[in-house]
Structure formats: structure tokens, C-alpha cells
Amino acid sequence: MPEELSARKSQEGHEWQITEKFKETHDTYTYKLFPVSKSQRFDFSIGQFVTVSTLLKRPTTSGGLEENLVNRAYSIASSPTRDFIELTIKEEKPYGYINPVTGKPDAFAAYFNKQVKLGDKIRLKLNQSKEHFLWKVAAGIEKNVAYWSGANGAQSARSLIQYMEDKKDPEFNLILFYSNTKLSTDNTNNRYITNDGPHPIDSLNVIYYNWLIDVAKKLENLKVIFTFTREQEIPPRSTKDLRIIYRKGRFFLNPDGLPERTLLKYGGNVETSFNPICGSSGFINGIVRLPDGKINRGKGILQNLMEIEGVKPEKTDKEQFYLQQVGVNQ
């Protein structure tokens, strides 16, 4: 990017400061940010995302480091009723990843998570699209929500859950269908970092796992259905946690490999439920990029909802984080 353009771009958006950094899993952090001044604050709605811009140093093939202004989109993971913003940032590409076509490093998250510290100020630009993800929920048009999340995709559900905690609106009802490959403990040295210093925490590989269990115990209008697609065993369920359900395998497939009406099975009303889907292209609609670069079109949650459950298209919504590549991170 030419220097002048880069300088102008770095002035875009609003300046917010990082006050907390929470390690969710081995490759994912949640950041809490406050505006640096009143003039930098902006209002937002459930489901909106911001573009984060920051200078990052990335290793080059020649062994050096190159600093550039880099941008990525992140869904706001906290409620608009709170005076801060939280963002959860998961690394997809590994540290040091070099794009084979350009020969340059082009990842964001691994460098952001390593280089950005408490007290740092970063630029956030709110996406202004009117019909953004979950806009019908934000506008109060849809209150009976069945949210379908891939392993990285529950951020807007977290915003909605916090909103439900704050508003205590008895008309809101959320079933979170949350798909992960497995449940395992990270044996990295986890730390919850605040201004008082680091605090040890237990951490698993599922983003928001412990928080979701705690909040589902408290909120009567929240149910969480965890599925583990590659797990042999599922965690034992406490009889006290009535609104937390564990299952194995893919949604819409029963243990015999036959089609299953997952929404209906776990108490969703097929006529009235609004079904946002968030995650990779593969999770949403079965579209993946093969190792040879070709695009393969399969079926995802969207097709299953319509074909197996009979959900109408207007009762669905989607936010795609990225195009899923087959053969990496699997």
C-alpha cells in the first residue's frame, strides 16, 4: 500500500483501547476495549461487525520482519447494552504462514494475538450495512432464535446472550446449536490478563465453553446443544444442567447415520424459529476449497434446515467468516 494511503487508512474508524485480554483456547483470545474518548464511542446492534486495523510485524521469507497496516472483520461479541466492546479473535493461519502465490505473509490473527498488549489503542470501523447479520433480532422482529454455530462462529450469539442477561425480556428464547470437533483440555499455560496481572484459568478447546455452561444455568430462556463431530465419548451431564445437552456427530444425522430433525428434536419450533448460521462456508452451505484450488459444493446447515426440517428461507440468516479450505487445520 502506498505510504499516503496507508497513513489515511490508519486514521479511519474510531480509536479504542484494550483493557483486558482473556485466553479462550490455545489459539483464541477475547479482548475488552473501551473508547479512548467520548468522541470515539459509537453505538452498534447485535450481529454487527467491525473492521479492526492495526500495524503488525510479520516474518518474511528472507528472515526479516515487515510492518504493515492490516485489517480484518470481527463480529462484536458483547452486548450493545454494555459500555465496552469485546472481540474474540481466532487464529486460522499459523504464525509465519507465507501465501504460496504472493510469497508474502498475509495472516492477521496469529500476529494480533501475539503482538497486541493491554493498553494498546486500535482502530475499529463499524460496518454500516442496514441488513446486517441478526438485524431482525436486533430490531425485535425475531425473538425465538435457533442459532447454529461452527467452532468459530458463536460471537454474535454471545452478544445476544449478554443482551438477554441485561434486558431480562421474557419473550426472547435462544437455542444455541454449537458444533466442534472434540472437547479437550489445552495444556498450555493459560492466563486471564487484566491490569492486576495474570490470573490462571482452566481452558478447553471450545470457545466460551465454561461461560456458556454458567450462563445456561442462570438464563431460563437459553439452551445450549453441544455436538462433537469427532468425539467417541461425550461428557457426563449433570442432572442440574437441564439446559445443556451434549451429543456426538453432525447435526441432522442420527447415530445410525440417517437424517434427523435436529431443530425439532431439541425443542425448536420449526414454524416460528429464526435460524441464524455462523461459521465457515463449509459449515453454512457445504462450500469448500479443495487442495487443488477447485471449489466443491456440498450441503451445510442451511440446506439441511430447509430440506430436512422444512424451514422457510426467510427464517434463516447467515454470516460467513471465511471460505473453508479442505486439508488445512484438520
Ligand X SMILES: Cc1cc2nc3c(=O)[nH]c(=O)nc-3n(C[C@H](O)[C@H](O)[C@H](O)COP(=O)(O)OP(=O)(O)OC[C@H]3O[C@@H](n4cnc5c(N)ncnc54)[C@H](O)[C@@H]3O)c2cc1C
Which parts of this chain interact with ligand X (CB under 6 A)?
Answer: 49, 72-75, 88-94, 97, 106-110, 152, 155, 319, 321-325, 328-329
Number of C-alpha atoms within 13 angstroms, CB side, residue 289? 9
Q: How far is the CB of 176 from ligand X (least distance, A)?
A: 15
Q: How far is the CB of 68 from ligand X (least distance, A)?
A: 13
| Rounded Cα gap, residues 31 and 17, in angstroms | 10
CB-nearer residue toward ligand X: 113 or 262: 113
| Rounded Cα gap, residues 134 and 139, in angstroms | 9
CB-nearer residue toward ligand X: 73 or 213: 73
Residues near 199 by beta carbon (within 8 Å), at least 6 away in sequence = 191, 192, 193
DSSP code per residue over 179-208: EES---B--S--EEEETTEEEE---BSSTT
CB-nearer residue toward ligand X: 14 or 247: 14
Per-residue burial over 252-281, b = 16 or more CB atoms within 10 Å of its CB, e = otherwise: bbeeeeeebbbbeebebebeebbbbbbbbb
CB-nearer residue toward ligand X: 78 or 221: 78
CB-nearer residue toward ligand X: 188 or 238: 188
Q: How far is the CB of 67 from ligand X (least distance, A)?
A: 16
3-state secondary structure of 60: coil
Q: How far is the CB of 18 from ligand X (least distance, A)?
A: 15
Q: How far is the CB of 30 from ligand X (least distance, A)?
A: 10
